[in-house]
A = this chain, B = another copy of it.
Amino acid sequence: MIDVHGWLERLGQTLEANDHAAIAALFLATGLWRDHLAFGWNLATYEGTEAIAAMVTARAALVGAGHWSSEAPAGASEGYIAFETALGRGKGYLRLVGDQALALYTMLYEIKGHEEQIGARRSSGMIDDPQGRSWAEVRRAEAESFEKGTQPCVLVIGAGQCGLAIGARLRLLGVPCLLVDKHPRVGDQWRSRYASLTLHDPVWYDHMPCVPFPEHWPVYTPKDKMGEWLESYADIMELNVWTSTECTSAAYDAARGAWDVTLRRDGREIVLHPPHVVMALGNAGFAKMPMFPGQETFRGTLCHSSAHPGGQGMAGKNIVVVGANNSAHDICADLVVHGAHPVMIQRSSTHIVRQTTMTDVMLKPLYSQDAVESGMTTEKADMMVASVPLRLSEVGARALWKQLRRDEAPFYERLEQAGFALDFGEDGTGIAMNFLRTSSGYYLDVGACEMVADGRIALRSGVAIERIVEDGLILADGSHVPADGIIFATGFGSMEEWVARLISPEVAEKVGPCWGYGSGTRGDPGPWEGELRNMWKPTAQPGLWFMGGNLSLARYYSRFLAMQLKAKFEKLDVEPWHAS
């Protein structure tokens, strides 16, 4: 049977010959080739031998891939790979079944001559400023130059984790970039949340690009500590960030190939003309507030979860929390801690994942102390995750959850006994696919489930809200739920809503939905895309790009977005390829 090395040798020969049939023969009929920039200068998955062969025959000569190698041991049927193209250096992962590939992953790691300025490529640091200025003065002058007519190549709207990640990558590539954020300080997105919030994913999964968390960092980062870290990160990466700066509108001037972006900075209006705008407002930036009959008559406090300050001072109060996903659970638990009486209104079923399951089962092989100590690096772990085409991810996730539901049956039964409506994703694929489809519909349990089960968090499930009255809510079954306060943990709007608001409904329409991969499930209609829509890659609107995702995705995919922007900045002759 052929091993990774043998297959790569064949691949090399076949690419040289560029023979359609021979290429197809390298893969199983259901084989998949996921490529991030290396071959198609796009983020795309080619499914089945026909699609793969079509891509390769169209691109092979141009791409000029060679020097295929692997560190896999002889005889291995899967392993990390490396290669070069005319443009750059690539890495990836290969999975064989018999003599054929089940899945090949290729990614462009760096562009030759335009690598990240790290390691041996770092600057000397010696200050040789003709005006005799210090490093701090030069840095300040750079950030303020955009006030004085200098245009950044890239304007990043939002300086949360996603904005900072792409800002950092662009700094490493020497692309002039400005970030703007409406908050007074970098990290305020996190600081402003409720007191007990921590990151739900463990530290090994959450590193930012280039500056990993140090070895003493807690497993689950407290939200204020995350805020401080991001603020330090912006300094450490020498990012130009204008805080207290809100983007109020943006319009693309196709003739000039640049945007007119209107900013309000500390109350003043400034218009910039960057050729590229990156929307980094997050999957959770745009508060989604429902409107119930009678809502205006409510005499207590009423707010969206993102504006809820936490349970301090709410002891003894009846607080209704509408929603049953992450924020709703966290807020209810925090209310319990502060002696309030929360009532959770669950309007649709929720996918519950215990944090211990996430950390100790799902993430452990790749992102854990054990993984680190066995030699797994963040880079390899990320590549391993990315190397699985979403078709296969779905299959794997379904099998995993079949098992987990059995393993965790007592926990789930206890929740159901409390009346909680559970699901495991529409097709049983659970949280990982859920996240890629809609980033919603789940709670990563850090303790609130026990409170639901034992009644400390009162639950009303499966019954709609009829109307709001001055002292509470009336549900569809006629019952009255008294409330001193109502918190709508009803989630966040989509990235395309930001586009409609800041640019125009027409551009939002043209660009289409962001996020989701066309799984054909609720909230993520088809057609099947196999990659996240519009994320980290060209959109139908020239000069408009999207960052998004959790810390892990921001870390990994910022590399690709940054390389595409670097190519624009350097006017490199590269164009994304699309299957016709």
Interface residues of A (CB under 8 A from B): 116-120, 122-127, 132-137, 139, 171-172, 191, 195-196, 198-199, 203, 210-212, 214-225, 228-229, 232, 235-237, 310-312, 334, 337-338, 369, 372-373, 446
Cα A216 to Cα B236 in complex, Å, equals 9
Q: By CB atoms of chain B within 10 A, which of A118, A125, A210, A218 has the most?
A: A125
A430 to chain B, nearest CB (A): 23
Which residues of B have CB within 8 Å of A171? Answer: 216
A317 to chain B, nearest CB (A): 14
- Give me the 5 closest cross-chain CB pairs, A-B, nearest first: A125-B218, A135-B222, A136-B224, A134-B195, A232-B232
Are B216 and A172 touching (Cβ within 8 A)?
Answer: yes
Q: Quick one: given A195-B132, A195-B137, A369-B119, are A215 and B210 in contact (CB under 8 Å)?
A: yes
A101 to chain B, nearest CB (A): 32
Nearest B-chain residue to A335, judged by Cβ: B132
Cα A196 to Cα B132 in complex, Å, equals 7
Which residues of B have CB within 8 Å of A218? Answer: 122-125
Residue from the list B133, B211, B217, B369 in contact with A120, Cβ < 8 A: B369
Are B236 and A136 touching (Cβ within 8 A)?
Answer: no
A339 to chain B, nearest CB (A): 9
Are B228 and A235 touching (Cβ within 8 A)?
Answer: yes
Cα A312 to Cα B118 in complex, Å, equals 32
Which residues of B have CB within 8 Å of A132? Answer: 195-196, 310-312, 334, 337-338
A238 to chain B, nearest CB (A): 8
Cα A237 to Cα B228 in complex, Å, equals 11
A431 to chain B, nearest CB (A): 20
Q: Quick one: given A196-B127, A219-B122, are A211 and B214 in contact (CB under 8 Å)?
A: yes
Are A122 and B215 touching (Cβ within 8 A)?
Answer: yes
Q: By CB atoms of chain B within 10 A, which of A127, A228, A369, A373 has the most?
A: A127
Which residues of B have CB within 8 Å of A191? Answer: 136
